Amino acid sequence: MPRDPLPDDLQRFVLTSVPSVPFVEAMLVYGAAGGEPVAVETVASRLYIPPRAAQDIVEQLMGAGVIAPAGNGHRFAPASPELAGRLQQLTQFYRTNLVDVTDLIHSRSRRAAHQFADAFKLRKDS
């Protein structure tokens, strides 16, 4: 069965607002909690990453307006209805088109790495 292509607006959102696959995975953990607080340690455990890495991702999610402090952790709390809708769309496509979404996320870092490497290429005209 052919997969639905990622809509252009979702592609732009991923390329401009999603720094990594663990960012999306952590967002899914918070979204699945139904508004209940989730501790950083739980994120670390679910993503199989060290607590410090999970803390960094939690800070990114807070900075992006995806989660907010609550109790002994954080809860899913998109900062605007538009962001909530975009995150719902991302969740749906991530679950059904995992490879396409992760490839898109990784393409951003590959492009940045190529640009960095290109800065050090010796040019004949230099």
State pLDDT tens for residues 72-108.
Answer: 999 999 999 999 999 999 999 999 998 999 999 988 6
**Residues 66/10/89/82 CA torsion (nearest 10 deg):** 50
User: pTM score, two decimals?
Assistant: 0.81
Terminal CA-CA length for the chain = 52
Q: Let me know if residue 25 belongs to a domain.
A: yes
Report which of residues 80 and 119 the model is more confident about: 80
Q: Let me know if residue 13 belongs to a domain.
A: yes
Q: Which domain holds residue 45?
A: 8-118
Q: How do residues 20-62 score in pLDDT, each as one tens digit? A: 999 999 999 999 999 999 999 999 999 999 999 999 999 999 9
Q: Let me know if residue 19 belongs to a domain.
A: yes
Question: How many structural domains compose the chain?
Answer: 1
CATH number of the domain bearing residue 41:
1.10.10.10
